[in-house]
Amino acid sequence: MLSFIARRFLTMIPLLLGISVLVFILMAIAPGDFLDVARTQEDIPAEYIERMEEEFALGEPWHTRYFIWLGNVVQGNLGESWIYRVPVTELLWQRIPATLVLSALSIMFALCVAIPMGVLAAIYKDSIFDRVSSMFAYAALSIPEFFLALLAVMFAAQTGWFPTGGLSSVEHEFMSFWGRMADYAHHLVLPTIVLGMGSVASYMRIMRANFLDYIRSDFVTTARAKGVAEGRVMFVHVLRNAINPLVSASGFILATLLSGSILVENVMNYPGLGQLIFEALMRQDEFVVVAAVMMGCVMLMLGNLIADLLLAWSDPRIRLEKN
Please tell me the distance from the alpha carbon of residue 299 to that of residue 289, in angstroms, as a whole number: 15
Residues 6+ apart with CB under 8 A from 122: 130, 207, 208, 211, 212, 215
Residues that bind other proteins (CB under 8 A): 30-33, 36-49, 51-52, 55, 83-86, 90, 94-95, 98, 116, 119-120, 123-124, 129, 153, 157, 160, 164-171, 173-175, 178-179, 181-183, 185-186, 189, 230-231, 234, 266-267, 269-272, 275-276, 284
Closer residue to other proteins, CB minimum distance, 52 or 312: 52
CA-based R_g, the chain, Å: 24
Secondary structure letter of residue 174 according to DSSP: G
Closer residue to other proteins, CB minimum distance, 59 or 71: 59
Give the nearest distance from C-beta 19 to other proteins in angstroms: 23
Residue 274 CB coordination number (10 Å): 25
Indicate the SS3 state at residue 87.
strand
Give the nearest distance from C-beta 10 to other proteins in angstroms: 34
Closer residue to other proteins, CB minimum distance, 188 or 311: 188
Give the nearest distance from C-beta 91 to other proteins in angstroms: 8
Closer residue to other proteins, CB minimum distance, 219 or 230: 230
Give the nearest distance from C-beta 50 to other proteins in angstroms: 9
Closer residue to other proteins, CB minimum distance, 40 or 323: 40
Closer residue to other proteins, CB minimum distance, 223 or 276: 276
Give the nearest distance from C-beta 74 to other proteins in angstroms: 23
Of 47, 76, 30, nearest to 280 by C-alpha is 30
Please tell me the distance from the alpha carbon of residue 310 to that of residue 323, in angstroms, as a whole number: 20
Give the nearest distance from C-beta 116 to other proteins in angstroms: 6
Ordered DSSP codes for 196-225: HHHHHHHHHHHHHHHHHHHHTSHHHHHHHH
Please tell me the distance from the alpha carbon of residue 161 to that of residue 164, in angstroms, as a whole number: 9
Closer residue to other proteins, CB minimum distance, 147 or 313: 147
Give the nearest distance from C-beta 40 to other proteins in angstroms: 6
Which ranges in the chain belong to alpha helices (H)?
Answer: 2-29, 36-39, 46-55, 62-74, 88-123, 128-142, 145-159, 177-215, 218-226, 230-232, 239-242, 244-267, 273-283, 286-314
